[in-house]
Amino acid sequence: MTVSASPTSEATYADALALLRGRPLVVLTGAGLSTDSGIPDYRGPDSPARMPMTYQEFVSGPEAQQRYWARSHLGWGRMKGADPNEGHRALARLDPGLLITQNVDGLHERAGSRSLVALHGRIADVICLGCRTTSPRAALQARLGELNPDFAARHAAVATRPDGDVDLEETAGFVVPGCEQCGGVLKPDVVFFGENVPAPRVERCYAAVDALPEQDGALLVAGSSLTVMSGFRFVRRAARAGTPVVIVNRGTTRGDELASYKLEVGCSEFLTALAA
């Protein structure tokens, strides 16, 4: 049965900490963990509804790819300047058995987390849909800047959106280069909506979650609404096995009814207390 309070009571907060401390953990993180680093999330209580570009739309033709890369060119310039926050650093100190992140910002790695699965990839990498060559996003950013020299200055005031995107409709005329190896279409090496998470990543996460009952462990969710199945399936798997689940997220989540504790508090605050 879910134990929760809104706002979260001191007793619930203390009980959740007591449950997690000293146990082997698998931790699942979402966009809510990176908001303290200045990166907006998709479904937070103060976030307007946003629908990112789907894979099917991206591959539909040059116009969609131009729209994506024009907006991403501006967003990446801002996102790459974000630094890990106290929540990222606390998780690095906790060093769970496995850290599963739905985020593509790479901040967990920069904070020093070691055993990690980036479910949706990393936006710092680019892949060619033709020859499958991967390359650094920084190199593509430089090419985009050279081909569109005044674009960033003309649109400096546009609002930032999640995952290296911005709120911009005026993308006509933006020049998008092809792959330097084969001339093919370049795409960030991340899982778009409409794509599947690579099976080896999912299997590694399932194995870590399945091992928790034998270890008297727990699953901690931090900053995810669990709206998409890519993360929710691990909560459902843990709950089915009787593994305690603690969810820390501002706003309701798809997994609330499966949680032992649901806390309406900030991720950085709670993770810092857990790591203390």
39 is in an annotated binding site: yes
**129 assigned ligand-binding residue:** no
225 is an annotated ligand-binding site residue: yes
The owner of tokens 């508090």 is 265
Cα 43 to chain centroid, rounded:
12
Report the half-sphere exposure of 155 (CA within 13 A, side-chain side). 25
Residue 120 among the catalytic residues: yes
**Ligand-binding site membership of 32 (annotated):** yes
48 is in an annotated binding site: yes
In whole angstroms, how far apart are CA 128 and each of 105, 133, 142, 174, 210? Answer: 20, 5, 17, 19, 35
49 marked as binding residue: yes
Q: Binding site annotation covers 103?
A: yes
Half-sphere exposure (Cβ direction) of 213: Cα atoms closer than 13 Å: 10
Q: Per the annotation, does 34 bind a ligand?
A: yes
- Any known ligand binding at 36? yes
What element of type H or E holds 210? helix 199-215
- Residue 266 DSSP SS3: coil
Which of these is catalytic: 73, 88, 108, 120? 120
β strands within 38-114, DSSP E: 98-101
Torsion sign, CA atoms 210, 211, 214, 219: negative
Q: Is 175 annotated as a binding residue?
A: no
Determine whether the annotation assigns residue 217 to a binding site.
no
Binding residues for NAD(+): 30-50, 102-105, 223-225, 249-251, 267
- Catalytic residues, by residue number, are 120
Where is the binding site for Zn(2+), in residues?
128, 131, 179, 182
